[in-house]
Structure 1
Amino acid sequence: MLSAFFDYNVYIFNVFVAAMDRRIQQSLYEQFQVTELEVNLRKRLFELSDLELEKLHAYRRKIEPHVHDLIGEFYDLLVRDEYVPRLIGDSETFNRLKTGLHRYILDLFSGFYDSEYVNNRLRIGLVHKRIGVEPKYFLSAERFLIRCISNKLETIIENANERQSTINCVSKLIAFDTSWILDTYIGGLMDEMQDIKAKTDTYVKTLELKVENLTALANRDPLTELYNSRAFRDSLRKALLLSKQNRTSVSVVYLDVDDFKGINDDHGHQEGDRVLKHIGFLLSELPSDYDIACRQGGDEFCLAMINCRASKAVKFVESLIEQFKKEFPKYSLSIGIAQHGEDGDTDVDALIHNADKKMYIAKKAAGFKVCA
């Protein structure tokens, strides 16, 4: 169980590392799977024609000398909200934001509205999402920026129709930009949801593995790793019910180490534990996957042999005795065998008790003895 828990967590970590490695090798444009077709589609949605974008580019040199003042006007409007200064935090961040805005404004008039342009817009959205700018503040800032650029264009372009056409184009282009920027917000939320789901799935799987591990520990004897008495009784009851349906036999073997107290007293508890562990090992090598073995308590063990008559159980026990003798020739075992027949009786305790009684009958004789 612990191995499965470890392997699963290693698997999750490797998947995460592989995903992150693929991600950092891609541009935002690639991560969001943007295509040239999608870029052109959005241009049409926002009614941005190549002709008016070319005209916008013609004003780059005229707008550039005014960008510094434009940025000052923009931030004068922006910092009226007490949230903005707290978000900006310090002068270094403020200067970086102004530098970024300077580049953004010039990009509006660059004449290039391709994959690199879109990639930069996606990056803007990602940065604002990371520093915690909520969409409502971003959209408010967008409105202020359009107002500031429009005010400057009012002073630069004399022809009223041309001026209004250019202002409209800037407004549409900023809306085009915002559509990409909001994609990063939405994508970020989706990523967060996926992260939460992945963490939840991992947490649930971890809990399941822990529960399985704890259940296994609760059902097992820590020394021999066989089932404990409670788990054995539960499993035996299920086996008896199935045996009743199928009209088959179940044999219960009850095993006790002779003079176990003497072994501990004369040779120490380590020797006693070694004997118990070896019996646990022998009982774990069962002839059928359906057979059930347990440490009943102290030096007593129980084995339920499914679809097995007492005569067949005796043969298994004789083989077990021979293997035990090879390891511990000076010690002996007393063994009782009780068979559940086809009468339909499913009394677990009665069957175990019958095997126990036969074990005590066997114990009256010296050396290895089996009573069936």
Structure 2
Amino acid sequence: MHNLNQTLAEQLNISKQEIEKRKSFLDFTKKDEEILLAYKPIIAKHCNGIVKNFYDFMTQYTEVSTIIGDAETMRRLYSAMNRYVLELFDGHYDKDYVSKRLRIGLVHQRIGVSSDLYLSAIYRLQLNLHNTVAMYEMGNKDYMDMFSLRQAINKIIMFDIQFVLETYYSGLVNQVEAAKSELKTYADSLEKKVEDRTRELEELSMRDMLTGLYNQRAFFEYLRKEISNAERYRESLVLCYLDLNGFKAINDKKGHQEGDNVLITTGKLIKDSMRESDIAFRYGGDEFALILPHSTLEEADVFAKRLIKNFRVDEMQGVSFSMGIAAIGPDVYVDAEALLSAADKEMYSAKAKTKKRRGFYVSSVYVGD
């Protein structure tokens, strides 16, 4: 992430001391700076020709002409290159000068000029400068002075290349970091989607597809967990277990579709009758179960009466239910199988009464009495 409060040089930790150190590595001395400044008038005289020769050569390549794109951009580049060539011979190569080189690298990197294309271009410019020096050299007997000028040109070009490429590499590092960040964000997002989907699938695997209630697999998981919680906190817990009366006749006479409708309606009536903290299940066939945490037999009886009332309002084609209720805690606790067995026994006790008279029957027991 770029810091907009810092210059490029500051972001790349390029200080005045760093600049002088790099000059030292190149043996780029004050004498070299003076030589370049001394020959600036000669370079300025030939600058347009140097730039023209440079672009005449470079625009032969489709990659370069494609990046430039149009005549207006070409004119701007001509003007910018003229300034750049003259700046090479300014004689002052301080932090401001380095900042301009860094910006060149940044602009090139942003518009898609590859580092190898940049190096080819700067080499072509270096040749053009040497050719200009060669023209002047033919009328100058001070060959030692010309040799020093050539060396100074090589040094300033290498000095520039360091900073331009540093910006390139910094840009690439930023791109890599941005890509890593995007990849991490995507991976985190994908991981969350997988977790969410796994949770959804897990939830679906514990749901009865017909009624939307939890299924038998979920029943045993929840019952064991709720018994454990009740025992840990010394609370009461109630299990209601009910079986529909008259359901087989509906299935036999009107078909399974009508039987399914009865089961679906039963599931809805149970959900409408229970509290938010209660947990409802279709145990299998026409058998249903409810876990009532933090509840007593009296509270379970209130639920049973509410469910009977809702069944009668809906009419349910004459279908009723028999319910067995078993309670544990806060003094005595049993395991899930024992509690289910007690509720099942009470359900059959209630169902036995339907042989004499059809209707709703409830039988309850406190396990431990």
TM-score by length of 1: 0.71
Shift of 1:69: 5.2
Structure 2 distance, partners of 1:257, 1:339, is 21
Alignment equivalent of 1:201, drawn from 167, 188, 191: 188
Alignment equivalent of 2:215, drawn from 214, 228, 238: 228
Is this contact kept in 2: 1:337–1:359, CA < 8 A? yes
Structure 1 residues 110 and 239: CA distance shift in structure 2, 3 A: farther
Is this contact kept in 2: 1:74–1:148, CA < 8 A? no
Is this contact kept in 2: 1:241–1:346, CA < 8 A? no
Shift of 1:197: 0.9
Structure 1 residues 280 and 155: CA distance shift in structure 2, 3 A: farther
Q: What residue ranges of structure 2 are gaps of 5+ in the alignment?
A: 24-29, 88-95, 138-144, 365-369
Please state whether the residue corresponding to 1:222 is helix, strand or coil: coil
Please state whether the residue corresponding to 2:232 is helix, strand or coil: helix
Structure 1 residues 259 and 36: CA distance shift in structure 2, 3 A: closer
Aligned to 1:257: 244
Partner amino acid, structure 1, of 2:321: L
Please state whether the residue corresponding to 2:312 is helix, strand or coil: helix
Structure 2 distance, partners of 1:336, 1:35, is 74
Within a 5 Å distance, the mapping from 1:75-114 to structure 2 comes to 92-93=62-63, 95-96=65-66, 106=82, 108-109=84-85, 111=87
Structure 2 distance, partners of 1:128, 1:105, is 18
Is this contact kept in 1: 2:50–2:129, CA < 8 A? no
Aligned residues: 322
Within a 5 Å distance, the mapping from 1:258-297 to structure 2 comes to 258-285=245-272, 288-297=275-284
Structure 1 residues 36 and 219: CA distance shift in structure 2, 3 A: closer
Aligned to 1:363: 351
Within a 5 Å distance, the mapping from 1:138-287 to structure 2 comes to 141=120, 144=123, 148=127, 151-152=130-131, 154-155=133-134, 158=137, 159-160=145-146, 161-285=148-272
TM-score by length of 2: 0.71
Percent identity reads 27
Name the stretch that deviates more: 269-278 or 289-298.
269-278
Structure 1 residues 334 and 238: CA distance shift in structure 2, 3 A: same
Structure 1 distance, partners of 2:40, 2:181, is 41
Structure 2 distance, partners of 1:278, 1:116, is 78
Structure 1 residues 35 and 147: CA distance shift in structure 2, 3 A: farther
Structure 2 distance, partners of 1:142, 1:46, is 24
Is this contact kept in 2: 1:36–1:115, CA < 8 A? no
Structure 1 residues 143 and 121: CA distance shift in structure 2, 3 A: closer
Aligned to 1:322: 309
Structure 1 residues 337 and 36: CA distance shift in structure 2, 3 A: closer
Q: What residue ranges of structure 1 are gaps of 5+ in the alignment?
A: 1-30, 76-89
Structure 1 residues 265 and 226: CA distance shift in structure 2, 3 A: same
Name the stretch that deviates more: 322-331 or 196-205.
322-331
Greater Rg by CA:
2
Structure 1 residues 165 and 273: CA distance shift in structure 2, 3 A: same
Partner amino acid, structure 2, of 1:362: A
RMSD between aligned alpha carbons?
A: 4.0
Structure 1 residues 216 and 60: CA distance shift in structure 2, 3 A: farther
Partner amino acid, structure 2, of 1:312: E
